[in-house]
Amino acid sequence: MNIIKNTRKKCPLIHCITNYVTVNDVANIVLACGASPIMADEIKEVSDMQTICNALVINIGTLNERTVESMIEAGKTANKLGHPVVLDPVGAGATPYRSEVVKRLLDEVSFDVIKGNISEIKAIVFNSNKTKGVDASSLDLVTMDNLDETIEFTKKLSKITGSIIAITGPIDVICDDNKAYYCLNGTKNMGKITGTGCMAAGVTASYLVSNLDNKLEAVAMSIAAVGLAGEISEKKALGTGSLHIGLIDAISNLTDEELSKGLQLYER
């Protein structure tokens, strides 16, 4: 497994249109995992900026009317150029406006990866024209008991959307339309720092674009890596402030060998 090695070697440029809450953490974790971040959201330059980058992350955490247009413009350019695009639909479903934006994004941009928690993924299903008729009403927090149903559902969603789907939570599920992983890495306290999900999306894009022969594994490893980094950080952390900083430390030090050893990622 050379997923991290490949990322550090390729050092891809990751264009992130993301929220202003965790943008610093996303930039730092993208650097820590071996890539380079560019944050730019002015519509007059997002297309040009995407052209010199290798991948795009769209995170709607603090979306506004101005930046939504930039997201769509950058997304279309990335699609045209064949650059991987990762969607982090933060808070999808929380407000009608957010649902409407998610719908537009799904209509106008093709995503290589959609990564969200179970509520956000459900909102994706309810708000996409493509997923009409798909029943997500029984989807719930992933447990070992409902894992097989969730995987079946997620594979179907992946087939319909054409995206790798990553559902994050205590048990993460990462699927394309014919292969599925679940991941047990991570700790409960990671939910007590903001931005672990946003950071994961940055790592996802970095690993993915550096390992295009191995897309699903790259995405699964990115989710596992951030979870493992949280576990490593938690051993030394004195509270949630140092847990946050230690997580970035851990990603910056992580090698493929250590990731292999710490992985709790299983095919199913």
Among 41, 88, 120, 172, binds a copy of itself (CB under 8 A): 41
CA distance 72 to 58: 9
Among 2, 9, 42, 108, binds a copy of itself (CB under 8 A): 42
* Pairing mode, strands 180-183 and 172-175: antiparallel
| CA dihedral sign, ordered 150, 151, 153, 154 | positive
- Assess 142 for contact with a copy of itself (CB under 8 A): no
CA distance 86 to 155: 17
Q: Could you give the string, one character per residue 86-125, with x where binding to a copy of itself holds by CB under 8 A and - elsewhere?
A: -----x--xxxxx---------------------------
Question: 163 or 185: whose CB is closer to a copy of itself?
Answer: 185
| Binding piece for a copy of itself, criterion CB under 8 A, among 62-70, 72-80, 124-132, 147-155 | 62-70
- Assess 61 for contact with a copy of itself (CB under 8 A): yes
* 77 neighbors 110 (Cβ within 8 angstroms): no
Among 1, 21, 134, 184, binds a copy of itself (CB under 8 A): 21
* 251 neighbors 230 (Cβ within 8 angstroms): no
- Assess 145 for contact with a copy of itself (CB under 8 A): no
Pick from 86, 12, 195: which is nearest to 4 by CA?
12
Q: Could you give the string, one character per residue 152-191, with x where binding to a copy of itself holds by CB under 8 A and - elsewhere?
A: ---------------------------------------x
Binding to a copy of itself, residues 186-245 (CB under 8 A): 191-195, 236-242, 244-245
Question: 25 or 217: whose CB is closer to a copy of itself?
Answer: 25
Euclidean distance between the first and final Cα of the chain, in Å? 19
Within its chain, how far is the Cα of 239 from the centroid?
A: 25
Torsion of CA 256, 261, 263, 267, to 10 degrees: 90
Torsion of CA 218, 220, 225, 230, to 10 degrees: 160
Q: Which residues bind a copy of itself (CB under 8 A)?
A: 19-25, 27-28, 31-32, 37-42, 44-45, 48-49, 52, 61-66, 91, 94-98, 191-195, 236-242, 244-253
